[in-house]
Amino acid sequence: MQERKPFWMRAFAVGLVVAVVVAWIWIEATPPARVAPPAGQAIVIDRSDTAQSGRKAVIDKLMANGLVRRIDPERGGALRVTLRPGFYALDEAARLGYAEAIYRYHFDGSSVNDTVIMRDARNGNEVGQYNPYKGGLNMYK
């Protein structure tokens, strides 16, 4: 017959698991710090009502034409854009223009961590990113 472990050993094991889970949740919940761009490299984005309404019209057109399924803001300066297959058929200049419009509508250019993360609508995999401070548009597919 098997001997049962003392209570304090079982309590320690459960406490250790709870501590690891709490630490993991705390680390995931802490957004990355906003980092200002280096002096002289900051981009200036026109946030006037007319510019924003033009960008909103572009985003609405993307959704109406079935190129983008949805746009979800995430914590910590990230924006998830779910792309449909028609987006991949566009030429590089059109994709870059649309990514810039989405970025400029949602961000003001004050942090190098602000990124548009592009995901595939069919499987949810990341297929690209747009960040003007980190090389612009980078499509993996």
pLDDT at 26: 86
Give the tens place of pLDDT for each residue, 13-71: 899 999 999 999 888 777 777 788 888 888 889 999 999 999 999 999 999 999 999 99
**How far is residue 110 CA from its own chain's centroid?**
16
Which domain, by its residues, includes 51?
A: 1-141
pTM of the model: 0.77
pLDDT tens-digit map of 75-107: 777 899 999 999 999 999 999 999 999 999 999
d(CA 23, CA 26): 5
> Is residue 76 within 8 Å of residue 32, measured between CB atoms?
yes
Quick check: 76 and 113 in contact, CB under 8 A? yes
Give 7 or 125, the one with higher predicted confidence.
125
Residue 1 has pLDDT above 60, yes or no: no
Domain count, the chain: 1
